[in-house]
């Protein structure tokens, strides 16, 4: 099954493009110290707000720092936040969805009401409230984005579990006396995992978008740490004189998020049984 899925994903040209770009961003993030032409924190008062040139390919910011170097280092923040927030959301959503779907009854009601309550809040409001109350830091941001993004996954997993637990192989496992834990982890989870993988791919992109929005509002990654949203935030103040600060970090965010979305879409198609028939 797994090999087949990879084969199907690799048939999709857009997915390959997305995957390649994700690898590039990873590479840039890991080797940022070697790739970046300048120190991203280095202030140079003689080179303030310089337009793109041979020396500074993407120009310099309001403190004379090299924008390209700051974008390169910013990739670290985006990937860290994207993946860890996704991990938290997937873990929370899967666990709660499994419990709700498997045990049903009162526990199910409580968990699903909780999902309804969380969904009633405009996500950005809830995130901003928490970040405002606690000091904004990269860890708080990861956790908060994760803890406000698990509801759809819980619903998804619950629905999968509800249909799986009535299937014959699960009933058979129960008939031979398998424990609940064994049924959940050996029989239900492996069969419910594929839609979760698709949701996980999309949620990395979503988390990166939210983080950049928070940093743009000044309640995300705090300066001088470079982040894509943070550069845009300063760019807004120099919108009339330094367009390069507003243009390039946005392209980085857009392409990264787009890559995760393209990959997610390809995975979804690859896992859609309706399309299996066409092969």
Partner 1 sequence: MIPILFGITLICFFVINLAPGSPTSFTEELSPKASPEAMEALKKLYGLDKPIHERYLNWLRMVVTLDLGKSFVDGRAVKEKIKERLPITVTLNLISLLLILIVSIPIGVYSALKPGSIFDRVLTVFVFTGFSIPTFWIALLAMIVFGVNLGWLPISGIQSIGAETMPLHERLLDWIKHLILPVTIMSFAGLAGMSRYTRSSMLEVLRQDFIRTTRAKGLPEKVVIIRHALRNALLPVVTLLGLAIPGLIGGSVIFESIFSIPGMGQLFYASAMARDYPTIMGILIIGALLTLIGNLLADIAYFIVDPRIRVKRDV
| Candidates 37-45, 79-87, 167-175, 228-236; binding stretch for partner 1 (CB under 8 A) | 228-236
Are 43 and 64 in contact by the 8 Å Cβ rule? The answer is yes
Report in angstroms how near the CB of residue 246 gets to partner 1 at its nearest: 5
List of residues 6+ apart from 48 with CB closer than 8 A = 60, 61, 62, 63, 64
Report in angstroms how near the CB of residue 97 gets to partner 1 at its nearest: 18
C-alpha to C-alpha distance for 59 and 80, rounded to whole angstroms: 26
Are 55 and 69 in contact by the 8 Å Cβ rule? The answer is no
**263 contributes a contact to partner 1 by CB under 8 A:** no
| Candidates 80-88, 96-104, 188-196, 256-264; binding stretch for partner 1 (CB under 8 A) | 256-264
- Please identify which residue in 1, 2, 3, 122 interacts with partner 1, judged by CB under 8 A: 122
**230 contributes a contact to partner 1 by CB under 8 A:** no
- Please identify which residue in 58, 68, 71, 130 interacts with partner 1, judged by CB under 8 A: 130
C-alpha to C-alpha distance for 237 and 245, rounded to whole angstroms: 10
**7 contributes a contact to partner 1 by CB under 8 A:** no
C-alpha to C-alpha distance for 55 and 188, rounded to whole angstroms: 57
- Please identify which residue in 82, 205, 220, 226 interacts with partner 1, judged by CB under 8 A: 205
- Please identify which residue in 113, 167, 182, 186 interacts with partner 1, judged by CB under 8 A: 113
C-alpha to C-alpha distance for 267 and 79, rounded to whole angstroms: 20
C-alpha to C-alpha distance for 206 and 210, rounded to whole angstroms: 6
Give how many residues touch partner 1 by CB under 8 A: 45
Q: Within 134-173, which residues bind partner 1 (CB under 8 A)?
A: 134
- Please identify which residue in 6, 10, 91, 129 interacts with partner 1, judged by CB under 8 A: 129
**250 contributes a contact to partner 1 by CB under 8 A:** yes
- Please identify which residue in 26, 185, 254, 276 interacts with partner 1, judged by CB under 8 A: 254
**Nearer CB in complex with partner 1: 195/250:** 250
**261 contributes a contact to partner 1 by CB under 8 A:** yes
C-alpha to C-alpha distance for 201 and 205, rounded to whole angstroms: 7
Report in angstroms how near the CB of residue 164 gets to partner 1 at its nearest: 24
Q: Site residues (CB under 8 A) for partner 1?
A: 113-114, 116-126, 128-134, 205, 209, 212-213, 216-219, 229, 232, 235-236, 239-240, 243, 246-247, 250, 253-254, 257-258, 261-262, 265
């Amino acid at each position: 099954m797994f090999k087949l899925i990879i084969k199907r994903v690799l048939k999709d040209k857009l997915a390959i493009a997305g995957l390649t770009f994700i690898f590039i961003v990873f590479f840039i993030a890991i080797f940022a110290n070697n790739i970046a032409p300048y120190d991203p924190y280095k202030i140079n008062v003689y080179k303030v707000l310089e337009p793109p040139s041979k020396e500074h390919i993407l120009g310099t910011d309001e403190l004379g720092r090299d924008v390209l170097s700051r974008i390169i280092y910013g990739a670290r923040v985006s990937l860290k936040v994207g993946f860890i927030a996704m991990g938290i959301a997937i873990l929370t959503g899967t666990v709660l969805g499994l419990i709700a779907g498997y045990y049903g009854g009162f526990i199910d009601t409580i968990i699903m009401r909780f999902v309804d309550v969380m969904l009633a809040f405009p996500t950005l409001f809830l995130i901003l409230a928490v970040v405002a109350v606690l000091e904004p830091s990269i860890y708080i941001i990861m956790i908060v984005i994760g803890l406000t993004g698990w509801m759809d996954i819980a619903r998804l997993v619950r629905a999968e579990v509800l249909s799986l637990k009535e299937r014959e192989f699960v009933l058979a496992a129960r008939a031979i006396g398998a424990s609940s834990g064994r049924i959940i982890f050996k029989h239900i989870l492996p069969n419910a995992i594929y839609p979760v993988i698709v949701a996980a791919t999309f949620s990395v992109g979503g988390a990166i978008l939210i983080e950049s929005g928070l940093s743009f509002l000044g309640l995300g990654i705090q300066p001088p740490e470079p982040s894509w949203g943070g550069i845009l935030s300063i760019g807004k103040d120099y919108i009339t004189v330094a367009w390069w600060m507003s243009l390039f970090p946005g392209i980085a965010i857009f392409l990264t998020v787009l890559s995760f979305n393209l990959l997610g879409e390809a995975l979804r198609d690859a896992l859609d049984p309706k399309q299996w028939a066409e092969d």
